[in-house]
Structures are given as structure tokens and as C-alpha cells.
Amino acid sequence: MPKKLLILLFFLSPFYMNSQNIIWKTDINDAVTVSAEKRKPLLIFFTSQGVNPQLQNEIFSTRDFEEWSRKNVILVKLDISDSSISDAAREQILRLKNAFGIEDIPQVCFSEVTSRKGKTNFNKLGLIGYNASGVKSWISESNLILNPE
């Protein structure tokens, strides 16, 4: 019995480990710094407790998304309902949400960031929500936002 369990764990562990490779920044200031260093735009995921989990479950939890995001964007997850964040951080999230024109949550905003003389400027590239057509379609739409022709 233990031998069968070990074999099962051996085969399932790569799947579990792959789902753990996505790292979401939760501090916009940290994300801005990394974006500048790596010269990648931000994918800002605005969410809240109790929202429809389809975007996370069907798009963000896939290997395709993990590979695409690692190459193309800095991931930022801003949860408006997070009780562990300060009032100042929540206010900053709400200001960003309003500045980007986010009306529905969950929603993703792509943005380029520039910092000059201590001032951070966001350039909204576009918005995208859940796409029932699957992860490949979602990635294609995201690529059109990031690389308009």
C-alpha cells in the first residue's frame, strides 16, 4: 500500500507543483518596482471576496497562463475585501480601480508604468474579464491588448 501511495504522489507532484509557481504581488508599489526592473507591463487583477471564481479557476490556474504570464507581465492581485490590508492600502486600491475605470469585479487591467522624479504614472493598455472560450482565447485577447497592431 505505501509503495502505491508513493508512486501516486510521484506522478501527481508535478501537477501540484506547477500550480504553485504563479506569484502574485499584492503591493502595487512593489509591483511597480519589479515592472521597471524587468520592463514588463502589469497585469492587475482586481477582485473581492465572494466574486465569481471562474477567472481564477479556469484561466489563472492553468499551465498555459503560468507560462504566458511569466514571459509577458508582472502579476498583481488587488483584493478590495482583504481585511489584512491597511486603510491607506485599501484607499490606494480604490483610487486605482476608479482611475482605470473598473466597474465589474473581477476584472483585469493591463498597464505600463513609468516613474519620473518620484512620481509614478500608469498608462492603461486595456481591460479584460472572464472569457468562457478558455485560456488560449483569453491569452490571445490579452496579447492584442499588450501588442496592438
- CATH code of the domain in which 69 resides: 3.40.30.10
96 belongs to a structural domain: yes
Q: Cell 502574485 identifies what position?
A: 24
Write out pLDDT tens, residues 95-116: 999 999 999 999 999 999 998 8
Please indicate, yes or no, if residue 127 is contained in any of the structural domains: yes
pLDDT (mean) for 10-33 = 72
Say what the pTM is.
0.84
The reply to whether 12 falls in a domain is no
- Structurally, the chain folds into a number of domains equal to 1
Taking 50 as the threshold, does the pLDDT of residue 5 lie above it?
no
8 occurs within a structural domain: no
Spatial separation of the C-alpha atoms in residues 47 and 106, rounded to whole Å: 5
Is 5 among the domain residues? no
Q: What is the pLDDT of residue 3?
A: 58
pLDDT computed for residue 20 by the predictor: 55
Q: What is the 3-state secondary structure (H, E, C) of the chain?
A: CHHHHHHHHHHHHHHHHHHCCCCCECCHHHHHHHHHHHCCCEEEEEECCCCCCHHHHHHHCCHHHHHHHHHHCEEEEEECCCCCCCHHHHHHHHHHHHHCCCCCCCEEEEEEEEEECCEEEEEEEEEECCCCCCHHHHHHHHHHHHCCC
What was the pLDDT predicted at 148? 87
**141 occurs within a structural domain:** yes
Residue 17 domain-assigned? no
Angle at which helices 135-146 and 63-72 cross, to 10°: 10
In the predicted model, what is the mean pLDDT of the chain? 88
pLDDT in tens, 44-82: 999 999 999 999 999 999 999 999 999 999 999 999 999
Domain ranges, residue 78: 23-146
Q: Which amino acid is at 81?
A: S
Residue 43 lies in a domain: yes
What number of other Cβ atoms are within 10 A of residue 138's Cβ? 24
